Structure 1
Amino acid sequence: MLTRLSCTVEEMGLALDDVVILLACNEYFVPYTAVAIQSIVEHMSPDRHYDIVVLTRDLTQRTIDSLVGHLPYPNMSLGFLNPEVALKGTKLPHHGHFRPETFFRLLAPWLLPNVKKAVYLDSDLVALTDVAELFDTDVEGCLLGATRDADTVGMMLGYDGTVGPYLENEIKLTDPMQYFQAGVLVMNLEAFRYAFTVADMLSLSTVRVWRWLDQDILNMLADGNYVRVDMRWNTLMDWKGIRREKIIAQAPEELREQYEAARQDPAIVHYAGPDDRPWDYPDCDMGAYFWDYAKRSAFADVLEERLQQSQTTVAGKLDRAKVSVIFKGIMPLVDKTFPPGTKRRTRLIKGYVAIGGDLG
């Protein structure tokens, strides 16, 4: 195993013959990725071997050494793979809080050409049980396994009237109700290679700016034909107290029940959202899980320093004040004046987008 950023899978020297786990990050985000990795390794089975591959373009050697040196586990290996061999300089369009690294999962089938299956995990999550159980999901005959997205379905059914037409008319889903959340995936890499090419992925990634970027692309490609994974494997935090009471509350009863059941017994907690993340707001929903692993992770000191800066510096206080005004003042007023499910709410959102507003 080479402990440096590799250009090819051969250079990494990983076995890649049992549990393969993929993450993607950049140099700034790596402390949060380190927490995800810490949570994974603390639940590994001694009877399995785990290869964790980080897809990245800019990790420094010092960062790589810190990650590898912090994880001396005999039944796991850590590798770092540069996706530029597949990107070939392609500029990946993104917006809002999203980063280009989110597209790297689309390239995984060709970056790991001899690997049949892998679990892909976003870096803003923690695992509370053995990810090998998720890896063992049978995805034969499908591109992937994923959890239905109660959040997006709730938006479509009342909270945001622009979502349904977008999923139906622009992504062209046969049944938008089957839209899935792509932060946790069991990817059938072999099936992707059979059906598509790298050129297909890059073309779809750059043809326009998608609302939820590569997640929309994956939903378009699967079009509802995917293995339904229990929602406990991708338990979304109750972002700002809005997701649970105002958005998922609009979803069908079966999805609401699945979400509530997942919250009672989460296998993976996913801190999806543009802000209110545990590294800045430790008291956010299910934030205690994050800090439990963070204090034992490779960059615990960096996380503590960033938290302090967000709480005490002028810039950090201003950002918190801005977020507070938006979510405690403006949004409740909008909900009261433009209630979910009304046409005037949909017109408001369309107008907001027309003047450059970001709905990511």
Structure 2
Amino acid sequence: MQPIQQAFEPVSICFASDDNYAPYLKVAIYSLLCNRNRERSYDIIILHKRISREHQGEILGLADGKSGVSIRFVNVVEADRELQSDVGCYYAVETNYRLLLFSKLFQNYRRMLYLDCDIIVTGDVGELFDVDLEGKSAAGVEDVGFRWLAYTKRAIFLDNKPYNVLNYCTDVLGIKDPGGYVNAGVLLFDLEKCRQKVSFRDVVETLHSRNFFYNDQDVLNILLEGNIKQVDCKWNYMNNIAFYLECDRKEFRELYLDLRREDYRIIHYISAKKPWNGEVPMGEVWQKYADE
């Protein structure tokens, strides 16, 4: 595959999706564009292997009449075989496509903001794109679900063996500080620094070295350990935060008290239940943009 050429010097954003998620991707991009800085440019890349022309047309139409906005679909079926794996707790192989950011496909990009499809943007992502990484290769938000998993000692399994999430990080992933583990739904990459430290071959070999529970999220945390700047949770406000802050059990509320935010910029709807298939915490925000 040939490297993608930048459309302009923009806020560069990458999504990955399949046809099933395309309607929800449309809502995510719509919310992003509603809250963009009109004085800046936004270059949006969508990696896929089979999004229908109908869905592509609807999403491309979001850029109509908006100056400085480019939306492009890039079919990565040629790379699909390299990234095929047991996707662990995820639902589709397309989650692995964010690993292509380490490939020659993006060699013309200096920085890239990766976003999952199951989000709503309520602030300008350009502010996150501009974050000073202080010499790090990437930025992300603590995976706050680990707090509950560690407290309850609920097991996660690898090769039919149970692990506490902290032991999973240290014993399986080889991560010295589990507190540095980030959620991969919102990530900012300095691709120049990433390319200096990690090759795409490193990424593929690590992906296939074991059937990781969190799949490519684990791979990213392994390869960039100690090289990820943690940013405020407002940039990846996982809706389970709202759930635990309002739950009946005091000990769970206390686990998440420091994460309460009123100025969140990106809401991330984690787990299998989404605002389009059931009632979830903060689902009303997604519904507002979906209705529009």
Question: Is the pair's TM-score, using the shorter chain for normalization, greater than 0.5?
Answer: yes
* 1:16 to 1:256, Cα distance in 2 relative to 1, 3 A: farther
Map of 2:137 onto structure 1: 143
Given that residues 89 and 215 in structure 2 are in contact (C-alpha distance below 8 angstroms), is that contact kept between their aligned partners in structure 1? no
2:275 aligned counterpart, secondary structure: coil
- Per the TM alignment, residue 77 of structure 1 is displaced from its structure 2 partner at its CA by 0.3
Superposition map of 1:84-95 within 5 A = 84-88=77-81, 90-95=83-88
Separation of aligned partners in 1, 2:49 and 2:70: 19
Q: Of 40, 44, 56, which aligns to 1:48?
A: 40
Q: Of 214, 229, 232, which aligns to 1:230?
A: 232
Map of 1:35 onto structure 2: 27
Superposition map of 1:171-210 within 5 A = 171-210=173-212
Q: Between Structure 1 and Structure 2, which shows a larger proportion of strand residues?
A: 2
- Per the TM alignment, residue 97 of structure 1 is displaced from its structure 2 partner at its CA by 4.3
**What is the TM-score when the length of structure 2 is the normalising length?**
0.88
Q: Of 243, 257, 263, which aligns to 1:265?
A: 263
Q: Which runs of 5+ in 2 are unaligned?
A: 156-163
Q: What are the superposed Cα offsets for residues 317-356 of structure 1, whole Å, 9 maximum, x if unpaired?
A: xxxxxxxxxxxxxxxxxxxxxxxxxxxxxxxxxxxxxxxx
Q: In the alignment, does 2:5 pair up with 1:22?
A: no
- Per the TM alignment, residue 293 of structure 1 is displaced from its structure 2 partner at its CA by 1.0
Map of 1:119 onto structure 2: 113
Higher alpha-carbon deviation: 39-48 or 93-102: 93-102
Given that residues 23 and 55 in structure 2 are in contact (C-alpha distance below 8 angstroms), is that contact kept between their aligned partners in structure 1? no
- Per the TM alignment, residue 241 of structure 1 is displaced from its structure 2 partner at its CA by 3.9
Given that residues 93 and 205 in structure 1 are in contact (C-alpha distance below 8 angstroms), is that contact kept between their aligned partners in structure 2? no
* 1:197 to 1:87, Cα distance in 2 relative to 1, 3 A: farther
Q: In the alignment, does 2:279 pair up with 1:287?
A: no
- Per the TM alignment, residue 247 of structure 1 is displaced from its structure 2 partner at its CA by 9.8
**For the pair shown, which has the larger CA radius of gyration, 1 or 2?**
1
1:290 aligned counterpart, secondary structure: helix
Runs (4 or more) in structure 1 with deviation over 3 Å come to 7-10, 84-90, 239-251
Given that residues 138 and 228 in structure 2 are in contact (C-alpha distance below 8 angstroms), is that contact kept between their aligned partners in structure 1? yes
- Per the TM alignment, residue 109 of structure 1 is displaced from its structure 2 partner at its CA by 3.0
1:80 aligned counterpart, secondary structure: strand
Q: What are the superposed Cα offsets for residues 262-300 of structure 1, whole Å, 9 maximum, x if unpaired?
A: 2x221111001122x10012x42111111111123xxxx
- Per the TM alignment, residue 67 of structure 1 is displaced from its structure 2 partner at its CA by 1.4
Higher alpha-carbon deviation: 240-249 or 193-202: 240-249
- Per the TM alignment, residue 68 of structure 1 is displaced from its structure 2 partner at its CA by 1.0
**What is the TM-score when the length of structure 1 is the normalising length?**
0.72
Q: In the alignment, does 2:272 pair up with 1:278?
A: no
1:210 aligned counterpart, secondary structure: coil
Q: What are the superposed Cα offsets for residues 140-194 of structure 1, whole Å, 9 maximum, x if unpaired?
A: 5212101112211331233425212111100111111222111111111112211
Separation of aligned partners in 2, 1:248 and 1:9: 52
Given that residues 109 and 190 in structure 1 are in contact (C-alpha distance below 8 angstroms), is that contact kept between their aligned partners in structure 2? no
Q: Between Structure 1 and Structure 2, which shows a larger proportion of helix residues?
A: 1
> What is the letter of the counterpart of residue 32 of structure 1?
Y
1:23 aligned counterpart, secondary structure: strand
RMSD between aligned residues: 2.4
- Per the TM alignment, residue 226 of structure 1 is displaced from its structure 2 partner at its CA by 1.5
2:63 aligned counterpart, secondary structure: coil
> What is the letter of the counterpart of residue 278 of structure 1?
P
Q: Which runs of 5+ in 1 are unaligned?
A: 1-6, 297-360
Separation of aligned partners in 1, 2:144 and 2:248: 12
- Sequence identity percentage: 28
